[in-house]
């Protein structure tokens, strides 16, 4: 049976410093997760007779997802559309810095996280829209897929597959170092499980 696995990249240097966006490499704990992810997935790829079902790995074009996928022994594809929400003028800042430097922007995002668009950046609605071609391909694909993505992008993908209300998408729980396994049911809906790093 086909699986769709979603995971965020391992902890990055920016995650460690609580900075958003950027294109930083993995921190040491993120590197540990990358190795562990490979073991967790190899154990979970369903067997079809003697054969393991083929798997492809989709990453964003950012270095933290590419590094996280590095040890996965499967075919890999990079999608620009899987890149993290673009924070525009707030890229590289911490939430505290945003609150101090741009208090009105910070308040506007807290008020309506779904629709709020960063100056020269994106909103969750923008991300949901640009993910459409990727989601269509995910549905069309016959193989199992591992998507190594980012917090906002994976909230949107999870929200779509689990048919969550739009308003709930910006706060769905997609923690670091956790594999989300989606298993299609015959009726077209999905079973869903969080698998924490062992
Ligand atoms: O902090 C990691 C991160 O992926 C940022 O790059 C991104 O801006 C943020 O999460 C998205 O989460 P939220 O929408 O909750 O700010």
Contacts of 130 (CB under 8 A, 6+ apart): 81, 122
What is the 47 CA–ligand 1 centroid distance (Å)? 36
Q: Rounded CA gap, 130 and 32, in Å?
A: 31
Cα 53–chain centre separation:
23
pLDDT along the chain (198 residues), means of 10: 94 98 98 96 81 87 98 96 98 98 98 98 98 96 95 98 97 97 92 90
Ligand 1 is surrounded, with C-beta below 6 A, by 15, 20-21, 84-85, 87, 150-152, 170
Q: What is the pLDDT of residue 122?
A: 98
The pick from 15, 23, 84 for probing ligand 1's pocket by mutation, whose C-beta has the most ligand atoms within 8 angstroms, reads 84
What is the 152 CA–ligand 1 centroid distance (Å)? 6
Q: What is the pLDDT of residue 124?
A: 99
* Tokens, residue 3: 């699986």
Q: Rounded CA gap, 71 and 143, in Å?
A: 19
Q: What is the pLDDT of residue 197?
A: 83
Q: What is the pLDDT of residue 30?
A: 98
Q: Rounded CA gap, 160 and 153, in Å?
A: 11
Query: Quick check: pTM over 0.80?
Result: yes
* Tokens, residue 48: 């079809």
Q: Whose CA is nearest to atom 13 of ligand 1?
A: 152
* 84 is annotated as an active-site residue: yes
ipTM of the complex model: 0.99
* 150 is annotated as an active-site residue: yes
């Amino acid at each position: 049976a086909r699986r769709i696995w979603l995971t965020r990249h391992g902890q990055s240097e920016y995650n460690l410093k609580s900075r958003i966006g950027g294109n930083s490499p993995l921190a040491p704990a993120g590197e540990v997760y990358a190795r562990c992810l490979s073991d967790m997935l190899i154990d979970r790829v369903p067997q079809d007779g003697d054969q393991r079902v083929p798997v492809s790995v989709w990453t964003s074009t950012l270095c933290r997802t590419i590094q996280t996928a590095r040890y996965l022994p499967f075919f890999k594809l990079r999608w620009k559309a899987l890149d993290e929400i673009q924070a525009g003028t707030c890229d590289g800042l911490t939430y505290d810095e945003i609150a101090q430097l741009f208090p009105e922007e910070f308040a506007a995002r807290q008020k309506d996280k779904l629709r709020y668009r960063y100056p020269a950046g994106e909103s969750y609605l923008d991300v949901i829209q640009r993910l459409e071609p990727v989601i269509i391909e995910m549905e069309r694909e016959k193989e199992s897929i591992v998507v190594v993505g980012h917090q906002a992008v994976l909230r949107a993908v999870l929200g779509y597959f689990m048919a969550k209300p739009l308003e709930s998408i910006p706060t769905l729980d997609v923690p670091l170092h956790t594999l989300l396994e989606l298993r299609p049911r015959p009726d077209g809906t999905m079973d869903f499980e969080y698998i924490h790093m062992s």
